[in-house]
Amino acid sequence: MLSELRPYWDFNAFTQRPGHLTWALSKIAHLNEAQLWALDNDVEQQAHYFAGNFPTLFEWQAQCEPALVTTQLPSIPFWLHTDIPGRKWQQIQGFCAATTQNAHANSSASAIEWCAGKGHLGRLHTWLCAQPVISIEWQNSLCLQGQQYANKLKLPQQFINADIHKLPLSATTAQGTIQCATQAPHWMALHACGELHCHFLHTATQHKASTIALAPCCYHRQQATHYQALCTAAQATALPASLNLQALRLAQQNQITAGNREREQRANELNWRLGYEALRQTLQPGTPYKNLPSKQKQSHDNFEQFCQWAAPKHQVNLPATIDWPAFEAQGQQERLQMMRHDAIRHCFRRPLELWLALDKAVFLEEQGYSVSLQQFCANHISPRNLLLLANRDINAANSPLSKPYPLFK
Ligand SMILES: C[S@@+](CC[C@H](N)C(=O)[O-])C[C@H]1O[C@@H](n2cnc3c(N)ncnc32)[C@H](O)[C@@H]1O
The percentage of the chain sitting over the pLDDT mark of 90, rounded to a whole number, equals 74
* Averaged pLDDT for residues 308-320: 94
Report helix angle 324-345 to 43-50, nearest 10: 90
31 contact partners, CB below 8 Å, separation of at least 6:
39, 340
Distance CA 220, CA 150 (A): 32
Annotated domain spans of the chain: 6-54+260-347, 78-252+349-396
Which pLDDT score, from 0 to 100, does residue 402 have? 34
Distance separating alpha carbons of residues 157 and 149, to the nearest angstrom: 10
Q: Which residues pair with 160 in a beta bridge?
A: 136
pLDDT for 107 beyond 60: no
Question: What are the φ and ψ backbone dihedral angles of 192, each rounded to 5 degrees?
Answer: -80, 135
Q: What does the pLDDT average to over 123-142?
A: 94
> Residue 17's pLDDT band (boundaries 50, 70, 90)?
confident
CA of 138 from ligand 1 middle (Å) equals 7
Is the CB of 138 within 6 Å of ligand 1? yes
Instruction: Look at residue 262 in the predicted model and tell me its pLDDT.
Output: 85
Is pLDDT above 90 for 261? no
Phi and psi for 157 in degrees, rounded to 5? -115, 125
Rounded CA-CA distance 365/184 in Å is 20
Task: Name the pLDDT band for 297 (thresholds 50, 70, 90).
Answer: low
Among the atoms of ligand 1, which is closest to the Cα of residue 218? Answer: 1
On whether the CB atoms of residues 88 and 36 are closer than 8 A, the answer is no
**Mean of per-residue pLDDT scores for the chain:** 89
Query: What pLDDT shows up at residue 379?
Result: 92
Ligand 1 contact, 171 CB (< 6 A): no
| Residue 137 CB–ligand 1 contact under 6 Å | yes
Which pLDDT score is estimated for 407?
A: 34
Residue 156 has pLDDT above 90, yes or no: yes
Mean pLDDT within 188-210: 94
Q: Please state which CATH number belongs to domain 78-252+349-396.
A: 3.40.50.150
Integer Rg of the chain from CA: 24
Residue 32 contacts residue 45 (beta carbons within 8 Å): no
Does residue 221 have its Cβ closer than 6 Å to ligand 1?
no
Residue 174's pLDDT is 58
CA 114 to centroid of ligand 1, rounded, Å: 7
> Is the CB of 49 within 6 Å of ligand 1?
no
Confidence band of 72 (pLDDT split at 50, 70, 90): confident
Say what the pLDDT of residue 175 is.
59
CA torsion sign for 366, 361, 357, 197 is negative
Q: Where are the alpha helices (DSSP H) in 41-157?
A: 43-50, 55-64, 86-104, 120-129, 140-152
Burial class, 313, CB count within 10 angstroms (exposed 0-12 / middle 13-18 / buried 19+): exposed
Q: What is the pLDDT of residue 335?
A: 96
- Whether the Cβ atoms of residue 39 and residue 46 lie closer than 8 Å to each other: yes
State pLDDT tens for residues 351-373: 999 999 999 999 999 999 999 99
Q: Is 392 in the pocket of ligand 1 (CB under 6 A)?
A: no
SS3 of 32, please?
A: coil
> Parallel, antiparallel, or unpaired: how do β-strands 111-113 and 133-137 relate?
parallel
Q: What are residue 213's phi and psi, to 5 degrees?
A: -130, 125
Among candidate residues 140, 122, 142, 121, the one with its CA nearest the CA of residue 132: 122
Query: Which range, of 128-132, 359-363, 375-379, averages the lowest pLDDT?
Result: 128-132
- Start-to-end CA distance of the chain, whole Å, equals 21
What is the average pLDDT across 14-38?
Answer: 92
Q: Which residues, 6 or more positions from 73, have their beta carbon under 8 angstroms from its beta carbon?
A: 93, 96, 97, 128
76 neighbors 127 (Cβ within 8 angstroms): yes
